[in-house]
Amino acid sequence: MSNSKILFKISGSIAAYKSADVISKLVQAGHEVQAVVTNSALNFIGPATLEGLTGKPVMSDSFKEGRMMAHIDLVKWADLTILAPATATSINRLGYGLGEDLVSALFLAHDWAKPYFVAPAMNTKMLSHPATREGLERLKKWGVCVLSPNDGTLACGDVGPGRMMEPADILAAIQPFLEKTIRPSVLLTAGGTKEPIDTARFISNMSSGKTAAAVAERFIQHNWEVTYLASKESVKPNGQNKSVEFSSSKNLQIELDKLLSENSFDAVIHLAAVSDFAPIHSNKMSKISSNQDTLILEMERTPKLVNAIREKCKNKNMRLIAFKFTATNNSATIKEKVKKLFQNSGADWIVQNDVSSRKDGVQSDFNLFDQNGEISSVNHATELGDLLENMLKKVIL
């Protein structure tokens, strides 16, 4: 294992003893760890313990020490930052941008090209409070990886969620980010296109982007560089990713071509639901009168964007995964449609799912094909993400 520089932040919780275990394991594995603590954390773990584990002086409230600018260099130094335990107070300070101590001030200077983990630890009621929930959601949207707390008996005697994740699980979660290898890159498209009829109306489809977001999160969690090209209304993944938006099929084509020509993606996963047809004469300058008794729209076929991905991609060794959404339970018909998509797109794999497996806006039952036929199937989008990530990792890394 290669050496990584880890900024380990600790806030005031009885769970701080677990942090000592994590730090010890990281140092034993050859990593360099710098501990940064809140003043309240020192009520639960002594600086001598942390200095003994890390071999470095513990850093605390910068305002008392008057060395804020020197401490900002820690952000540049660190390859990875983790706040464990993260109390409700520390989470809300981060979530609301309050740089009141060194832990929160350093967060305001965080380099978002680097991973940031938070391991909550608190009473169940504090965890479920709207302010805490909102703070955690805000952190996720910014790119923070939240390590979900466990259920169990808490320090106060209550039973429920709020126990900080166990040290072994924390280490497993951050392990992929400690490997100093070149990160593979993947482009995912997500959501449905909106084809304008006039300034107020459009034609769209029922794609929500939920499947794509779940798949993207698995790649993010395994330290891929993820570019997420999605409709504005599409569900977005948690974690660090480059987000690009599109509206119509024409707009998607422009953004897709640009990304493919400028980046050497290792893989492209095309999940976006692109309209097959678009109005020929859309009135983009005004609204069609609602006084009309009838309205006739003349439509034209839109380009099959997936068919041009391989040709336009800067990396000619890119792996392509296409999706086929069907409306039939006839296996022969499904196989024929999948075969045709293979021929037209040059995809390496195709994921097929059917409209009959969609319930309450959530898609399930995904079938994975290669050129020789069906090779695997999973029920849920998170399982699909694991399947695709593992498969691509084997052929790319």
Q: Is the pLDDT of residue 173 over 60?
A: yes
Q: What is the CATH number of the domain that holds 70?
A: 3.40.50.1950
Q: In the prediction, which pLDDT does 312 show?
A: 94
Token pair belonging to 59: 């850093």
- DSSP letter, residue 129: S
Q: In the prediction, which pLDDT does 69 show?
A: 55
| Residues spanned by the domain of 259 | 185-396
Token pair belonging to 174: 């951050």
Q: In the prediction, which pLDDT does 346 show?
A: 95
Per-residue pLDDT, averaged over 49-71, amounts to 76
The count of domains in the chain is 2
CA 174, distance to chain mean position in Å, is 15
Q: pLDDT (tens digit, 9 = 90+) per residue, 79-116? A: 999 999 999 999 999 998 888 889 999 999 998 888 99
Token pair belonging to 321: 């995964």
Q: In the prediction, which pLDDT does 113 show?
A: 80
Residues 261 and 391 in one domain: yes
| Among candidate residues 145, 178, 211, the one where a domain is terminated | 178
Q: Count CA atoms within 13 Å of residue 294 on its CB side.
A: 2
Residues 239 and 363 in one domain: yes
What would you report as the CA-atom Rg of the chain, rounded to the nearest whole angstrom?
25
Q: Is the pLDDT of residue 356 over 90?
A: no
Q: In the prediction, which pLDDT does 181 show?
A: 53
Q: Is the pLDDT of residue 68 over 90?
A: no
Residues 78 and 48 in one domain: yes
- For the chain, the first-to-last Cα distance in angstroms comes to 16
Sign of CA dihedral 218, 219, 223, 229: negative
The CA distance from 197 to 283, in Å, is: 6
Residues 169 and 189 in one domain: no
* Residues near 274 by beta carbon (within 8 Å), at least 6 away in sequence: 192, 193, 249, 252, 302, 304, 305
Residues 113 and 201 in one domain: no
Q: pLDDT (tens digit, 9 = 90+) per residue, 6-32? A: 999 999 999 999 999 999 999 999 899
- Amino acid (1-letter code) at residue 295: L
Q: Is the pLDDT of residue 197 over 50?
A: yes
Residues 165 and 296 in one domain: no
| Among candidate residues 178, 200, 231, the one where a domain is terminated | 178
Q: pLDDT (tens digit, 9 = 90+) per residue, 365-387? A: 999 999 999 999 999 999 999 99
What percent of the chain shows pLDDT beyond 90? 65
Residues 118 and 51 sit within 8 Å (Cβ to Cβ): no
Q: How confident is the model at residue 117 (pLDDT cuts 50, 70, 90)?
A: very high
| Among candidate residues 130, 145, 178, the one where a domain is terminated | 178
Residues 168 and 210 in one domain: no
One DSSP character per residue, 91-110 reads HHHHHTT---SHHHHHHHT-
Q: How confident is the model at residue 245 (pLDDT cuts 50, 70, 90)?
A: very high
Considering the entire predicted model, what is its pTM? 0.65
Query: What positions carry a catalytic annotation?
Result: 156
Per-residue pLDDT, averaged over 259-266, amounts to 94
Q: In the prediction, which pLDDT does 34 show?
A: 95
Residues 133 and 162 sit within 8 Å (Cβ to Cβ): no
Q: Is the pLDDT of residue 35 over 90?
A: yes
The CA distance from 381 to 393, in Å, is: 18
Write down the mean pLDDT value for the chain. 89
Give which of 63, 211, 238 is closest to 136, Cα–Cα. Answer: 238
Q: What is the CATH number of the domain that holds 280?
A: 3.40.50.10300
Q: Count CA atoms within 13 Å of residue 210 on its CB side.
A: 12
Per-residue pLDDT, averaged over 192-211, amounts to 89
Residues 240 and 380 in one domain: yes
Helix (H, G, I), strand (E, B) or coil at 137: helix
Q: Is the pLDDT of residue 238 over 90?
A: no
CA 119, distance to chain mean position in Å, is 17
Residues 120 and 141 in one domain: yes
Q: In the prediction, which pLDDT does 1 show?
A: 35
Q: pLDDT (tens digit, 9 = 90+) per residue, 307-325? A: 999 999 999 899 999 999 9
Residues 156 and 54 in one domain: yes
Residues 83 and 174 in one domain: yes
Q: Is the pLDDT of residue 286 over 60?
A: yes
Q: In the prediction, which pLDDT does 290 show?
A: 83
Give which of 63, 111, 118, 59 is closest to 94, Cα–Cα. Answer: 118
Question: 27-65: b or e for each residue (b if 16 or more CB lie within 10 Å)?
Answer: eeeebbbbbbbbebbbebbeeebbeebbeeebbbbbeee
C-alpha distance from residue 366 to each of 210, 332, 369, 395 (Å) = 14, 17, 10, 21
Omega before residue 176 within 30° of 0, cis: no
Strands 145-146 and 202-203: unpaired
Q: In the prediction, which pLDDT does 155 show?
A: 63
Residues 48 and 84 in one domain: yes
Q: In the prediction, which pLDDT does 163 show?
A: 86
- DSSP letter, residue 266: S
